[in-house]
Structure 1
Amino acid sequence: ILHSRVARSNIWGLTKLGARVIVCGPATLIPPHVEQLGVEVSYDLDAVLPEADCVNLLRIQAERQRSAFFPSIYEYAHFFAMNGQRVQRAKDDVLILAPGPINRGVELTPDVADGNRSVILDQVTNGLFIRMASLHLCYQSRQALSRESS
């Protein structure tokens, strides 16, 4: 979350739409004062998982991290990876999301990534079209403003 533009965009958009957002991860990856963005913070995935309608997993971006934010990938996966056991404790209709790319075995296990609750491939595919539509709307708005000011 600390280095994630995706997290900030999602927090902004989802809270504006009235969603209850809980950010969860190691304390070292939770930005200071993130609660000011209208979210709740948890450091215990197992505690908040039963409440979630969807779980949006973010990739550990080792290439952007100059220092260790947790002791090891294995420890991170132990406490925060979405695995089959955690999916069983979640709501029956929970959706598993991830903007991609994903690190299989780190943020989530392969069985969860490919499971029936995962909509990751749909999310990645549709993301392109959403960005295209957003750019088109921005362009149209700019064109309309240009015509009005002429």
Structure 2
Amino acid sequence: MTLAQLKERSLLGLKDLDKEEIESILERAAYWEKHPVKVHGGQQGKFAANMFFENSTRTRFSFEVAEKRLGAEVINFSAAASSVEKGESIYDTVRTLESMGIDVGVIRLKPAGLLAELAEKIKVPLVNAGDGNNEHPTQALLDMYTMRKQFGSLRGLNVSIVGDILHSRVARSNLYALRKFGANVSFCAPDNMQAKELDAPYISMDEALKADVVMMLRVQLERHESGMLNSAEAYREQYGLTVERAQRIAPHAIIMHPAPVNRDVEIDGVLVEHPQSRIFPQMENGVPIRMAVIERALS
């Protein structure tokens, strides 16, 4: 396979993926969502390796279900962060699995920038399952898919993303992709959780609640021990989606969250399955999206 073909079939991020390509993934996911047969043997005899150098239950399970529904054989590799800290060890692991004959590698890792280097050296398509605080393309694709199912179109949609923007690969991938479809993206975050390099306006929590889509991010308070909002209570009070705040959301608007959810921190527990919440449907939509992405990598 040539490097150009590899690049076409890999999914490293959405920043450099054109709108038409994203559109085709969303369309194919719609096909898989309606597909009546749970296991389709189209990718039988192909091997998919899920290489998770950073913990994730939901994303790994979602990819595994997607791969098995396509009929592929699945190999799971997960490493505790401590045992594979060095880029070299990650490279050796991926190279080893490539040598054993895998057809696609799904990778989640902590060091930002390493995935792009791996993609230059590894001769099988790679799918980014989250790299550092860079991108999480399949999460943004399933988010867009969820929004499109709700509103029909993304053009002109007002999306506010609330929380730890600084460390969020979800916020980045959503920003890059939603803009290509004409959506308006705004961020809402405390000063010490803002990513100044991203070109999007920061708005108040009151403004954020006026959007069509209110997307809450998981807050890892351990990253912000020195910050002003170092307690869950203080964070919830200022930036959490409380029951009181949820009453101010427009009747047509939806609540989203990439999960796992810190209940009663960034969102009150009773709102997780609120009629306007799409948190579980997002997870459901993750499977057809990842089927489309894996099929694209293998075909």
Q: Is 2:186 the counterpart of 1:22? A: yes
Greater percentage in strand: 2
Mapping 1:1-150, distance limit 5 Å: 1-35=165-199, 39-42=200-203, 44-50=204-210, 52-62=211-221, 65=223, 67-69=225-227, 70-140=229-299
CA contact (8 A) 1:83 1:111 kept: no
Identity in percent: 35
Aligned partners of 2:243, 2:252: CA distance in 1, in Å? 14
SS in 2 for 1:41: coil
Deviations 1:3-40 (A, max 9, x none): 111111111111111100011111111111322xxx22
Aligned partners of 2:288, 2:296: CA distance in 1, in Å? 12
SS in 1 for 2:184: coil
SS in 1 for 2:167: coil
SS in 1 for 2:217: coil
Number of matched pairs: 134
Deviations 1:96-141 (A, max 9, x none): 011111000011001211210101001012113212212212332x
Structure-1-length-normalised TM-score? 0.81
Amino acid at match of 2:209: L
SS in 2 for 1:105: coil
Could you tell me how far 1:68 is from its partner in structure 2?
3.3
Deviations 1:65-112 (A, max 9, x none): 264332322111101111221111111111001111100001100121
Q: 1:77 to 1:66 in 2, by over 3 A?
A: closer
Aligned partners of 1:104, 1:4: CA distance in 2, in Å? 18
Amino acid at match of 1:22: S
Aligned partners of 1:58, 1:132: CA distance in 2, in Å? 25
RMSD: 1.6
Greater percentage in helix: 1
Aligned partners of 2:275, 2:226: CA distance in 1, in Å? 34
Aligned partners of 1:73, 1:128: CA distance in 2, in Å? 32
Structure 1 residue runs of 5 or longer lacking an equivalent are: 141-150
Partner of 1:143: none
SS in 2 for 1:21: strand
Aligned partners of 1:126, 1:45: CA distance in 2, in Å? 28
